[in-house]
Amino acid sequence: MRASLTVARREVRALLDTPAGYVLLTVFLIVNAFLFFRQAYLTNTASLRPMLDLLPWLFLFFVPAVAMRTLAEDTRSGQLEVLLSQPLTEFELLLGKYFGATFFLWLALLATVPIPVGLSLASESSWGPVVAQYIGAMLFAAGLAGVGVWASCITRSQITAFIVAVGVMFLLVLVGLNPLVVGLPPQLGAVAARLGVLSHFDSIGRGVVDLRDVIYFVSLAAVFLALAFGTLLGRRLAQGQAPARRLRLGVLLMVATLVVVNLLGGYIGGRLDLTPGRLYTLSEGSRSLARSLDDLVTIKVFASKELPAEVALLERDLADLLRDLRAAGGGRIRIVQSDPGDDAEARREARTLGVTPVQFNVVGRSELQVKEGYFGLVIQYADQTHPIPVIQRTDDLEYRIAAAIRSLTRKSKPVIGLVVAMDDWGREGRTLGLVQQELSRSYTVVPVSLDDPANLADSIRTIIVAGQPDSLVPAVRERFAEFFRSGGSALIMTTGAPVDGRTPQVSAREPAWNELLAPFRVKIRPDLVYDLAANQIVPMPGEGGAQVLRPYPLWLRARAVPGTIVTDGVGEVSLLWSSSIDTLPGQGGLITPLLLSSRAAGVAEGMIDLDPTRFFPETDLRSRPLAVMVQPADADTGRARGRLVLVGNMEFATDRYASSAAENGIFVLNAIDWLAQDEALIGIRSRDRRPPRLVFTSPALQQGIKYANVAGIPLLIAVGGFIHLVRRRRRSRTPWQTQDEPAGGAA
């Protein structure tokens, strides 16, 4: 190993002592950063996924360019025989060349670290996924480096080695995609999909280091190093003789063994989940639910073999989730799998239980094929069933399965009251249909009319209030006050400046609910909050009738305060025309902010102009509370003994907004579970896998981060390389001098 490391150091120095190495590094960093920021700033997310999506295509040329000289140049110049005449075996030489190329690739990846560092200045991103993504990128580079070294071993020409390596890597990138596997038998198509590099690299790119992916990349490098070793060792053997035949047979057996290990590695579990909250690991809520089952729950999976290759990652996620559930259930969860495509009885059972076939497009070599397949499941408990007809995503699958199990095994559902005080309710998307649909899994939602306070039955201990009435008659006010005095809890979504979207101006006024909120020591202020930093981009008419995109400060991107059960896993909530929340003096329960604006937020009061092009003053800018939770203290003897969640917006959870902003609905569902003191599903539902948003405090910071990576880092490397090469050249031109003899020496 020491000899291999010596060769590796020589290889790295050879790249860094020539202009070619610095040119490769500089070009790679410029292209990578330019393409990354173009996509990252377009999506406005603090994630390395744009870089990881492009990395296979950049490595398609960068890795062959780095590895093409490793053995081809030594073979062409005759240095290979000189090296092997040293106390160095072919295996040590090959391993050293491979390590040298891999270390240089890792050095290039290390030079991209300023990208996530820059993103962290404009977001609250976690470093766990970044670490896992870089581990995946390093494994990916190590696997492809084996291909490059093999290509350099089979030829004397660097250009030929480059072309061969590009061709083989291109095939590895494409294998498993539909254009290649269409027409293959299902089993062969599944094997081809698992041999491709993209599915394994995409898995690690999520922030999870899976042992199956590690085995794949290690075995990929080992296969091509075995082929290279056979080529290198075969050069000193006479062709056609017994030793050469034994060598070829041994290499083929080794390659076949590694391929089998690669395929069998797909059935080995074990992963390192570095995502925040371990999003790809079974949550404690699901484990508790599985452990508390009093009878057998059966999960029947109906999956066809002829499914698109893109479904492979979904199938793997589903298998991992079900395996973890079965282990947590301790024998009380049974998994049954069947293929309706090959079994008529399974096909009949799937249709009976509510799992229907889905059609998907497959792009062939000369035509677009439409195939039909099954990919769904059914959860059974006693004589009840709950189908999930089609699995299209797995980020919410744990919650859907856990909610279904809980709904089937629960003996009764608590009652939630819904109070609506909003004009045009039921039209233009002004309804809580999506939220009510999710709530119906665990609760019974009944309407409560403001005209008849008597229907606020004693069985209702939690209410949802949406809207802002002009006033509350004494009888209604007293009924709600009694509800709160008796320990009732409420989610109140109201505003101090109701906007109907049809008038250019709105008048702020004191909300009618504030009188009932006084015992909780909170109130809605009669204003609208504008945010100059964390806002949404909206299309507006520009010059010549063209649509232009401009920020609208009155449409907020509210930041969820971490550390509370209601905001667990919630990143941002979209609030359109929202009011701020103020606290009142006195003693009582604990008030905790849930949603905050950025520090660049101000308020508009009185008659408020809603025009997006209006001037928004940059005075009194600070973070404003937009939602709070109130929890009574243990020793609280005041009147307000229930729980409260107050949001300064009345429409953010309606269908027309929650349908495009999923976190709005998640926030409301978490709040209801907390208010009803039914918190089992919160930790499951809130497992949001979306990356945080970018919030730049100034355009200078945004452009500075971009150009520091696109131009600054490559320029530093280029300048540093130039200085190193100049100094090295000067040293090489210095005449050799002997050391003077010491004074008083022999004549």
What average pLDDT does this structure show over 271-286? 77
Res 53: pLDDT: 84
**646, 517 Cβ separation under 8 angstroms:** yes
With cut-offs at 50, 70 and 90, classify the pLDDT of residue 657.
Answer: confident
Exposure letters 523-548 (e unless 16+ CB within 10 A, then b)? bbbbbbbbbbbbbbeeeeeeeeeeee
Q: What is the pLDDT of residues 215-243, one digit of tens each?
A: 888 888 998 998 888 888 777 665 667 77
For domain 415-677, give the CATH superfamily.
Class I glutamine amidotransferase (GATase) domain (3.40.50.880)
Q: Which of 215, 376, 392, 214 is nearest to 300 (CA)?
A: 376
What residues contact residue 18 under an 8 Å CB cut-off, 6+ apart?
A: 725
What average pLDDT does this structure show over 464-487? 88
Res 310: pLDDT: 62
Res 581: pLDDT: 96
With cut-offs at 50, 70 and 90, classify the pLDDT of residue 366.
Answer: very low
Q: What is the pLDDT of residues 123-133, one digit of tens each?
A: 777 788 888 88
Distance separating alpha carbons of residues 228 and 153, to the nearest angstrom: 6
Minimum mean pLDDT among 30-34, 193-197, 404-408, 661-665: which range? Answer: 193-197
Res 587: pLDDT: 74
Res 59: pLDDT: 93
Q: Considering the entire predicted model, what is its pTM? A: 0.63
User: In which residue are the tokens 């060792």 written?
Assistant: 233
Give strand ranges (E) for 225-338: 271-273, 297-303, 333-338
Res 363: pLDDT: 47
Domain borders along the chain are 2-205, 284-404, 415-677
Q: Which of 384, 362, 628, 675 is nearest to 521 (CA)?
A: 628
Res 633: pLDDT: 66
The answer, yes or no, to whether residue 558 has pLDDT greater than 80, is yes
**299, 335 Cβ separation under 8 angstroms:** yes
CATH architecture of 284-404: 3-Layer(aba) Sandwich (3.40)
The answer, yes or no, to whether residue 78 has pLDDT greater than 80, is no
Percent of the chain predicted with pLDDT > 70: 87
What average pLDDT does this structure show over 401-420? 87
Q: What is the pLDDT of residues 10-26, one digit of tens each?
A: 888 888 888 988 999 99
Q: How many helices (H) and strands (E) does the chain have?
A: 26, 24
Res 604: pLDDT: 94
Res 681: pLDDT: 72
What average pLDDT does this structure show over 469-497? 89
3-state SS string for 147-184: HHHHHHHCCCCHHHHHHHHHHHHHHHHHCCCHHHHCCC
Q: What is the pLDDT of residues 292-322, one digit of tens each?
A: 888 899 999 998 876 665 676 678 778 888 8
Res 689: pLDDT: 62
Distance separating alpha carbons of residues 430 and 158, to the nearest angstrom: 66
For residue 588, CA distances in Å to 167, 441, 521, 581 come to 71, 34, 8, 17
Percent of the chain predicted with pLDDT > 90: 28
